[in-house]
Amino acid sequence: MDLLNTLVDKGLRRELPTREEALAVLATSDDDLLDVVAAAGKVRRHWFGRRVKLNYLVNLKSGLCPEDCSYCSQRLGSKAEILKYTWLKPDQASQAAAAGLAGGAKRVCLVASGRGPTDRDVDRVSETIKTIKDQNEGVEVCACLGLLSDGQAERLREAGADAYNHNLNTSEATYGDITTTHTYADRVDTVQKAHAAGLSACSGLIAGMGESDEDLVDVVFSLRDLDPDSVPVNFLIPMEGTPLSTEWNLTPQRCLRILAMVRFVCPDAEVRIAGGREVHLRTMQPLALHLANSIFLGDYLTSEGQAGKTDLEMIADAGFEVEGSDQVTLPQHRAAAVEGGCGSHESAGCGSVCGSHEGADVCGTAAVPAVSEPRTDLVAVRRRGAGTDLAPNA
């Protein structure tokens, strides 16, 4: 296909596709799916070889969030029967992190529910970061604490944080449909604060919330404009007790097309398959490794993931290798830009928004295909690891 040849050439040159090209990837047929995966795989291998970076989540504070994000089981008013606990102590967090590192993870992601950290919270997390780094040589630490106030990113950086995560989640045009307690602009501001402090920015999206192809392309182009080093692609886990519990809009094929589109738009960024891969990609997970160069190992914040041992077997069986702690994740032009392996933050172009959000045939894209019966059997609330007395999945 001429489209795929063009996208490969652009990806190898770090050239931004047009919006029409990105939309066309999402509109490809199932008959062309393997061609799409093969093309995006060439771009992935050019920048990242066959390495897969493993990341491990530690939920420092679970539940009871005052924000109303519709997709989240920790949201205000959530009836999801998740684990709820206040801040883990530094030693507890370090012990949880050690399990993931023993399983092969090189980055620990420290997450806490809430709108954003107080200064006291930043002190608490800073102590946790220092404890983890003192006890685990060479580990990368990413913090995810919500909206940042002035000066907080700098304090996290001084404490030893390598990165900060704050996802855009969906397009600016539809953001108000999923969250009303803060704005899309608030999220952009926090990513920019992380950049300015010298932290490696990590920002991604959630697919499967009923968005159109135009929404997906819009948020990915906005991410390209912000130029984070890491782009997590989450697939909505419709948790019982949340407003989006009945949203089952994804097929494994659509998930692969979304990952391919992200790879073409962000060719040299760490594209990470995040929450929901087991639920929506299912047996197609190994194919997704040809598109993304990073995954989470084990469980997520409030839901259980695939067994860590199965993750490692999947990577090996698919012909990939786990990235070692002595290997630099990002391509040289990014890794050299900021001391410690963070990326460059050059501004890239961003296309215009293409109005409709109903999944109809707009701007040349196909309507979202029908999906099979919801796989509620694949959604399990996390009952082990951080905040419990049970061994973690790592």
Instruction: Assess whether 342 carries a catalytic annotation.
Output: no
Of 44, 51, 124, 142, catalytic:
142
Instruction: Assess whether 266 carries a catalytic annotation.
Output: no
Q: What phi-psi label fits residue 366: left (phi over 0), alpha (psi between -120 and 50 degrees) or beta?
A: beta
- Contact yes or no for 161/127 (Cβ under 8 A): no
Q: Encoding tokens for residue 334?
A: 């990014």
Q: Any bridge partners for residue 201, and if so which?
A: 164
Of 75, 109, 257, 334, catalytic:
109
Query: Are β-strands 205-207 and 200-202 bridged in parallel, bridged antiparallel, or unpaired?
Result: unpaired
Q: Encoding tokens for residue 223?
A: 């991410």
Structure confidence at residue 352 (pLDDT): 30
Which of 21, 42, 36, 17 lies closest to 257 in space, CA to CA?
A: 36
Which of 304, 324, 326 lies closest to 315 in space, CA to CA?
A: 324
Instruction: Assess whether 65 carries a catalytic annotation.
Output: yes
Which residue spans within the chain are E strands per DSSP? Answer: 51-61, 107-112, 140-144, 163-165, 200-202, 205-207, 230-235, 270-273, 294-296, 321-322
Angle at 201 between CA 200 and CA 207, to 5 degrees: 145
CA–CA gap between residue 214 and residue 79 (Å, rounded): 31
Of 51, 65, 144, 266, catalytic:
65
CA–CA gap between residue 94 and residue 132 (Å, rounded): 5
CA–CA gap between residue 394 and residue 310 (Å, rounded): 10
Q: Encoding tokens for residue 361?
A: 């045939």
272 among annotated binding-site residues:
yes
Q: How many whole angstroms from its chain centre is CA 82? A: 21
CA–CA gap between residue 335 and residue 46 (Å, rounded): 16
Domain extents in the chain? 2-344
Structure confidence at residue 364 (pLDDT): 37
Angle at 200 between CA 296 and CA 352, to 5 degrees: 90
State residue 51 phi and psi, 5-degree precision: -80, 145
For each of the chain's 394 residues, which pLDDT tens digit applies? 799 999 999 999 999 999 999 999 999 999 999 999 999 999 999 999 999 999 999 999 988 888 888 888 888 777 878 878 899 999 999 999 999 999 999 999 999 988 999 999 999 999 999 999 999 989 999 999 999 999 999 999 999 999 999 999 999 999 999 899 999 999 999 999 999 999 999 999 999 999 999 999 999 999 999 999 999 999 999 988 888 889 999 999 999 999 999 999 999 999 999 999 999 999 999 999 999 999 999 888 888 889 999 999 999 999 999 999 899 999 999 987 754 433 333 433 333 323 333 333 333 334 444 566 789 888 888 888 888 888 888 8
SS3 149: coil
- Choosing among 3.30.565.10, 3.40.449.10, 3.40.50.2300, 3.20.20.70, the CATH entry for 2-344 is 3.20.20.70
Q: Which amino acid is at 70?
A: S
Of 51, 124, 157, 202, catalytic:
202
SS3 101: helix
Structure confidence at residue 300 (pLDDT): 83
Instruction: Assess whether 350 carries a catalytic annotation.
Output: no
Structure confidence at residue 370 (pLDDT): 54
CA–CA gap between residue 76 and residue 180 (Å, rounded): 11
202 among annotated binding-site residues:
yes
Of 72, 255, 266, 354, catalytic:
72
